[in-house]
Amino acid sequence: MIRRLVIVLLALCCGPALADEIRLTDQVRIKDLVEFDGVRGNDLVGYGLVVGLNGTGDGIRNAPFTEEIMSNLLERLGVNVAGEAYRPRNVAAVFVTASLPPFARAGGRIDVTVSAIGDSKSLLGGTLVMTPLNGADGQIYAVAQGTIIAGGIAAEGEAARVVQGVPTAGVIPSGARVEREIDFDFTMLQSIRLALRNPDFTTASRIETVLNREFGPRFAVMLDSGTVEMNVAVAGMRSPAHVIGQIENLTISPETRARVVVDQRSGTIVIGQDVRISRVAVAQGNLAVRIEEAPMVVQPNPFAEGETMVVPRTNVEINRDPGNGLAEVSGGTSLSELVTGLNALGVAPHDMIDILKSIKAAGALHADFVVN
């Protein structure tokens, strides 16, 4: 049973009229609703070595790949260690990840994340040795190197160990230098497509209307619920970049599906303002079972033969809460009216998830019910 329940009520409304007023004033920029076709980042990954650790590196016996990469690195630097037996504890093998932003130019700097892949206990104080970062095509697009900033701490003794945060992962701000640019001529685009992050026909139609009002009736056309295509030539501007700079701060009022999100692990409920409930009757009651163990020790008489025994004693009680009977929730109920009705029933917070689930099963909850 969930002992704690935090109810998060978003976009409260007191009725349809107020909901329409809120919706009209809830303006969002287009740049926060869509992705521009072709304007995207690219993920990079590399395999490297961190040195300078204070005895918290990989154990070579448990992480043989650390010895292999260290040998390869030393040989590239002209040091021959073939056949040598060495067990350093100040190095660790790591994965290095980064995101190459759109239109990144050679010589630019990007942030990288470093994560241990062996049995290293901490990367605090370590330095990442020059590590190539590859894209999905296998080409090297950046090279990372620098001192790691880890967000955790670890301390241990002979019989105890304390770890706070994650000391086996860290970041290097501006730790990679871009070496290769992605070939993409943005200026040659004749049309640009806007991909909605949350596809919705109403939102796409409103984006089309706002864009055509700004640049002309033939500038934008809605292709489907998730795509709006723009004709760059109709805008009459110098480049597609100028077009995007002009439209990304235009605002519209987006539409979203009615949704109830429940996280059973944390006990969180999020109810959207468009959630509606048909006419339904709700009754709620609790059943509590209490079990107590009171074992009793029985000993033999003095100087008598026998053994001391433990006799179990169990006391079971069942308490039933009669509840408040049936309560009717009228049709077309809004979010605030639903919460008021449930509170009038005296519903405990941990029971509200079950009630909403039952209302959905009865077909009276008109919203997507998402359980995490």
Task: Dump pLDDT digits (tens) for 244-272.
Answer: 888 989 999 998 888 888 877 776 777 77
Stretch 340-350: mean pLDDT: 65
Expressed in angstroms, the distance from the first to the final Cα of the chain is: 16
Q: Strand ranges (DSSP E) for 1-106? A: 6-9, 28-29, 34-36, 42-51, 91-100
For residue 288, name the pLDDT band (cuts at 50, 70, 90): low
| CA–CA distance, 266 with 241 (Å, rounded to integer) | 44
Q: Would you say residue 24 has pLDDT above 60? A: no
Q: What is the mean pLDDT of residues 311-316?
A: 72
SS3 117: coil
- Rounded to 5°, angle at Cα 235 from 230 and 239: 90
Structure confidence at residue 328 (pLDDT): 56
Q: Which residues pair with 178 in a beta bridge?
A: 142
Question: At 17, phi and psi to the nearest 5?
Answer: -65, -45
* 22 has a pLDDT exceeding 60: no
Among the ranges given (93-97, 110-114, 157-161), the one the predictor scored with the smallest mean pLDDT: 157-161
Contact status, residue 285 vs residue 326, Cβ threshold 8 Å? no
Give the per-residue pLDDT at 14: 37
Taking 90 as the threshold, does the pLDDT of residue 241 lie above it? no
The overall average pLDDT reported for the chain is 78
Query: 7-21, 221-235, 278-292 — which is least confidently predicted?
Result: 7-21
pLDDT-based confidence at 284, cuts 50/70/90? low
Is 30 within 8 Å of 197 (Cβ atoms)? no
| Whether residue 21 has pLDDT greater than 50 | no
Mean pLDDT confidence for 365-369: 83
Residue 88 pLDDT exceeds 80: no
- For range 139-160, the mean pLDDT: 80
pLDDT of residue 1: 36
Least confident span in 6-15, 101-110, 321-330: 6-15
Return the percentage of the chain with pLDDT > 90, whole number. 24
What does the pLDDT look like over 53-66, one tens digit per residue? 888 888 766 667 77
Mean pLDDT, range 280-286, rounded to an integer: 66
Q: What is the pTM of this model?
A: 0.63
State the Cα–Cα distance between residues 12 and 5, nearest whole angstrom.
Answer: 19
pLDDT tens-digit readout, 197-233 = 989 999 999 999 999 998 888 899 999 999 999 998 8
Q: Hey, what are 368's tokens?
A: 């997507």
Report domain extents, the chain. 6-10+259-371, 28-38+185-252, 42-178
Q: Which residue has the higher pLDDT, 280 or 33?
A: 33
